[in-house]
Amino acid sequence: MSAHGNELPADLVVVGGGLGGIAATLAACRLGRTVVLVEELDWLGGQLTSQGVPPDEHPWIEVLCGSQSYAELRQAIRAFYRAHLPLTDAARAQVRLNPGQGNVGTLCHEPWVAVRVIDALLAPHEAAGLLTVLRRHRVLRAETQGDRVQALTVVDLAQDRQRVLRAPMFIDATEIGDLLEQAGVEHVFGAEAQSRTGEPHALRAADPFDQQAITWCLAADYLPGEDHRIDQPAGYERLRTLQLECWPGPQFSWTLSDFVTHEPRERPLFVGPTDAESLYDLWHARRIAYRHHFEPGRYASDITLANWPQMDYWEQPIVGVSHQEQATALQQSRELSLAFFYWMQTEAPRHDGGQGYPGLRLRGDVLGTTDGLAKQAYYREGRRIEAEFTVLEQHIGVSARPGKDGAEPFADSVGIGAYRIDLHPSTRGRNTVDIDSFPFQIPLGALLPVRVDNLLPACKNLGTTRITNGAYREHATEWSIGEAAGALAAFALARGVPARAVRARPELLADYQRLLQQQGVLLAWPRFGALTPTQRVGYRHAAR
């Protein structure tokens, strides 16, 4: 593609470099389309990298990936460790290498590794002239005419230089659906009313500012006998006694509200030896580097990723508020995470009877930062399109489908996913919603806005409710949503039709689904019933 002055034309502009945006970009480039990918940060990968969240995946991920390209991403991460990092012979020989040996999933790894892998996946398309990646760029405004987006004006955050991006198709893969608002795409956010959705777990009255907590993740290792205490964060005295009314005690505690039952539950940092295996304490949940997988002396300690309930920031909403209010809330979220870290270093009850773990050390190097925190907050929800079809709890929830042994089948399926319906505490003080769901499909109708013809969602901004969004937001499903959106954009351009025509015309839908299958996308699950009690335990932890 070639630029004209300050204009950069392409077949497709993808805004947002998270997993959905990467999958959309790869899908469109594989089909020969030119793409401009816009990302505000210097890292690509979203929740996997810049937000610092190791993959939360369904229990069958090692034997059944819904997408060949997602399986290739996972394989490439393992290959990077084998090729470039000092693994022991035993670790290198493991077919299902889990670099961190974390128990939230089977591929817990350092975020910087995934950054390198994603860049390598995109590189051939950049070299071929199909892809331009604009890192550290932000959309300032969208130009629209009728039911179409015409162009986007972006600013280079490093050089304060503006450019205009023109394309016949656009994709919103931003973390909270910012482009939907800028382009005037009909959307919702927060909680819908039960009278609208009929969902058993919906609120009686709609509340757009009832939003899930965000978390500003951090990485740490532990060096007993050393002192790595940070300065006491601002507001610490208030935060150390912060408590939700529905919580069994202060948020800074090892006693939590059980995600499912809401009964008090002990979840300490360590239970027993710090190198013990298969322990559902906090340290082992998202451990991203297991020192015994590496040659002696290469890692002084395990490294873990903290994305824990004590760090859930629920005091203020993030979506639908002013820029200043949002900035204030994000800063408070950062302060909360640092305050909890300081509490762990200084006041936390120790597993050996003492108080405080001063040997805890922030490890911003694995997150690409100097302060130990991730580059970006972990957002669990944002704006969602008003879609031609909306996925409801009645389509995927086990208890909402009495007498059924699976999720609602969708004739217009464009991919599959699996995750519990998992909502964290909300900005209105509501407790968690963590309930069984069936493995599900992604319907094409949920990718189609009710009015705008040439903008598609590529992540958790698709047509779900706040309830079902809690199942569609995890890594593998986000990738599948993005892959479907990128392939749809390319297919619609090739056929010279608007994207919504693909769903409306059976012959086009069949051809598009055939294209997805040729690209390695599964459109339906093997027959699964409700998860067994044993599977449910693992599934529950994987969802946190």
Please indicate, yes or no, if residue 185 is contained in any of the structural domains.
yes
Please name which of 303, 364, 368 lies closest in space to residue 337, comparing C-alpha atoms: 364
Q: 198: pLDDT confidence band, cut at 50, 70 and 90?
A: very high
Q: Is the domain of 12 the same as that of 83?
A: yes
Q: What does the pLDDT read at residue 420?
A: 96
- Mean per-residue pLDDT for 105-112? 97
Q: What does the pLDDT read at residue 531?
A: 47
> Is the model's pLDDT at 121 over the cut of 70?
yes
> Is the model's pLDDT at 402 over the cut of 60?
yes
Please indicate, yes or no, if residue 208 is contained in any of the structural domains.
no
Q: Is the domain of 140 the same as that of 243?
A: no
Please indicate, yes or no, if residue 489 is contained in any of the structural domains.
yes
Residue 143 contacts by C-beta under 8 Å, 6 or more apart in sequence? 149, 150, 151, 152, 153
Q: What one-letter code names the amino acid at 449?
A: P
Length of the chain: 544
Q: Which of 367, 397, 422 is the last residue of a domain?
A: 367
Please write the tens of the pLDDT for every residue from 184-197. 999 999 999 999 99
**Do residues 393 and 203 touch, judged by C-beta distance below 8 A?**
no
Q: CA-CA distance, 335 to 138, in Å (whole number)?
A: 25
Please name which of 454, 213, 62 lies closest in space to residue 70, comparing C-alpha atoms: 62
Please indicate, yes or no, if residue 1 is contained in any of the structural domains.
no
User: What is the total count of domains within the chain?
Assistant: 2
> Is the model's pLDDT at 530 over the cut of 50?
no
Please indicate, yes or no, if residue 97 is contained in any of the structural domains.
no
Please write the tens of the pLDDT for every residue from 372-385. 999 999 999 999 99
Q: CA-CA distance, 211 to 213, in Å (whole number)?
A: 7
Q: 534: pLDDT confidence band, cut at 50, 70 and 90?
A: very low
Q: What does the pLDDT read at residue 271?
A: 85
Q: What does the pLDDT read at residue 2?
A: 60
Q: What one-letter code names the amino acid at 400?
A: A
Please write the tens of the pLDDT for every residue from 512-528. 999 999 999 999 998 75
Q: CA-CA distance, 309 to 362, in Å (whole number)?
A: 18
The secondary structure of residue 291, as a DSSP letter, is G
> Is the model's pLDDT at 178 over the cut of 90?
yes
Please indicate, yes or no, if residue 304 is contained in any of the structural domains.
yes
307 in helix, strand or coil? coil
Q: Is the domain of 309 the same as that of 226?
A: yes
Domain carrying residue 453: 7-88+110-192+386-542
Q: Which of 367, 395, 414 is the last residue of a domain?
A: 367
> Is the model's pLDDT at 542 over the cut of 90?
no
- Mean per-residue pLDDT for 249-256? 96
Q: How far is CA 16 from CA 75, 100, 251, 435, 458, in A?
A: 24, 28, 32, 30, 9
Q: Is the domain of 181 the same as that of 297?
A: no
Q: What does the pLDDT read at residue 280?
A: 73
Q: Is the domain of 361 the same as that of 218?
A: yes
Please indicate, yes or no, if residue 152 is contained in any of the structural domains.
yes
Q: CA-CA distance, 451 to 460, in Å (whole number)?
A: 19
CATH number at residue 132: 3.50.50.60
Please give the share of the chain, as a percent, with pLDDT higher than 70.
94
- Mean per-residue pLDDT for 321-325? 98
Q: Is the domain of 432 the same as that of 535?
A: yes
> Is the model's pLDDT at 544 over the cut of 70?
no
Q: Is the domain of 391 the same as that of 363?
A: no
Residue 303 contacts by C-beta under 8 Å, 6 or more apart in sequence? 100, 110, 219, 220, 221, 287, 288, 289, 363, 366
- Mean per-residue pLDDT for 240-254? 96
What mean pLDDT, rounded, does the chain reach?
Answer: 94
- Mean per-residue pLDDT for 122-141? 98
Q: What does the pLDDT read at residue 272?
A: 62
Tokens of 373: 């925190």
- Mean per-residue pLDDT for 496-509? 98
Angle between helices 68-84 and 475-495 (to 10 degrees): 120
Q: Is the domain of 73 the same as that of 131?
A: yes
Please indicate, yes or no, if residue 103 is contained in any of the structural domains.
no
335 in helix, strand or coil? helix
Q: Is the domain of 218 the same as that of 117?
A: no
Q: 279: pLDDT confidence band, cut at 50, 70 and 90?
A: low
Angle between helices 111-127 and 68-84 (to 10 degrees): 110
- Mean per-residue pLDDT for 2-19? 90
Q: Which of 57-61, 139-143, 168-172, 218-222 is the least confident region?
A: 57-61
Q: Which of 342-346, 473-477, 515-519, 538-542 is the least confident region?
A: 538-542
pTM: predicted TM-score of the whole model, two decimal places: 0.95
Q: CA-CA distance, 13 to 172, in Å (whole number)?
A: 9
Q: Is the domain of 499 the same as that of 407?
A: yes
- Mean per-residue pLDDT for 150-168? 97
Q: What does the pLDDT read at residue 63?
A: 93
Q: Which of 367, 395, 419 is the last residue of a domain?
A: 367
434 in helix, strand or coil? strand
Q: What does the pLDDT read at residue 527?
A: 72
Q: What one-letter code names the amino acid at 34?
A: T
Q: Is the domain of 332 the same as that of 417?
A: no
Q: Is the domain of 325 the same as that of 392?
A: no
- Mean per-residue pLDDT for 324-328? 98
Tokens of 342: 């300081």
